[in-house]
Amino acid sequence: MSPSSGNSDRSLRESRSRRRTGLALLLGLVVLAAGTGLLVVDRQAPQVLTGDDAGSATGGAQSGGSGSGSASATATAPQPSGDGDAPDSGGTGGGSGGGDASTATPAEERTGGQPEEEGTDTPAPQDRPSDEELPAVMGSVEDEVDEAGGELEVVPGESDPAGEGPRTRYTVEVEEGLPGDAADFAAAVEQILADERGWRGEDGISMQRVDGEHPDFRVALAAPETVDRMCAPLQTMGRVSCTTNDRAIINQNRWVSGVEHFDGDLRTYRIYVINHEVGHALGRGHVSCPGPGEPAPVMQQQTFGLQGCEPNGWVQ
């Protein structure tokens, strides 16, 4: 073999060796790159959400859509301390911070659903006196009459002023010949007008019964015939009361029997008829029922009807 032939063979072998080395180096680089890529993917894997996790965070179809409402409530409303921020893991839309707080009324949220105890801003209702505390109102329930003696007499007796403010004085009169004790009627008028639910509480005045001359107004009890005569030209028709010339004249039949639509509540009717006619003596006019079921205003003509209101004898 000639020297030139040996050199050619050696060059061929070296060329093949370099190609194999290059291929091996390239393969090694490919393997190295693939290994690095797997390492990168493995390190990022914890941030990839599975289907179940994605449903809990976004309220997807896996929770039946109810998770969305709970997640929204959790994001927008403060949660009670100690409760979790996430919806219930069962996917029912519960969540320990959700539904109950969103449906509770403000009072329930403050008190745990129980009535507020003392110390709150809500004032306790004031105790109102009972009509039963006015025993004189039901004195001398007698029979009805059509006529009596025709003359009015002042019932003797005076009271202490009731209330504060400017003094308003009145006398009580009863027609001669009426059945019953005149002092009973005077005591009833005195108790009604002294009550703070009446005109003294409304007008800021004091009421005092007197038996002298020149009172501010008079309250009289008279038979129907006398009422008709004294109230003319008003048409009282033997049935109703009136006020004229600063005198509240109470029809004896109404004082004894009241009216049918008060359902037998004579006490309330007596309180009403005194306060109504005295209201006229103090310059008040008639008003109407404000609405069905409301207490009738004392200046409503309750003797004729209630217009859907409830019977009421007091100004306040």
- Domain 132-281 CATH assignment equals 1.10.3470: no
Q: Which two tokens stand for residue 114?
A: 């129980």
Confidence (pLDDT) at 202 = 86
For 239-250, the pLDDT digits (tens) are 999 999 999 999
For 283-299, the pLDDT digits (tens) are 999 999 999 999 999 99
Report the distance separating Cα 278 and Cα 282, nearest Å.
6
pTM of the model: 0.60
Q: Which two tokens stand for residue 28?
A: 């090694």
User: Which alpha helices (DSSP H) does 59-197 contain, by range?
Assistant: 66-76, 99-103, 106-111, 182-194
Judge contact between 224 and 218, C-beta under 8 A: no
The secondary structure of residue 114, as a DSSP letter, is S
For 68-77, the pLDDT digits (tens) are 333 333 333 3
Q: Is the pLDDT of residue 165 over 60?
A: yes
Report the distance separating Cα 10 and Cα 186, nearest Å.
151
DSSP 258-278: --GGGTT-HHHHHHHHHHHHH
Strand-pair category, 247-251 with 217-222: parallel
Confidence (pLDDT) at 17 = 58
Where do the structural domains in the chain lie, given as residue ranges? 132-281
CA-wise closest residue to 172 among 255, 258, 286, 284: 255
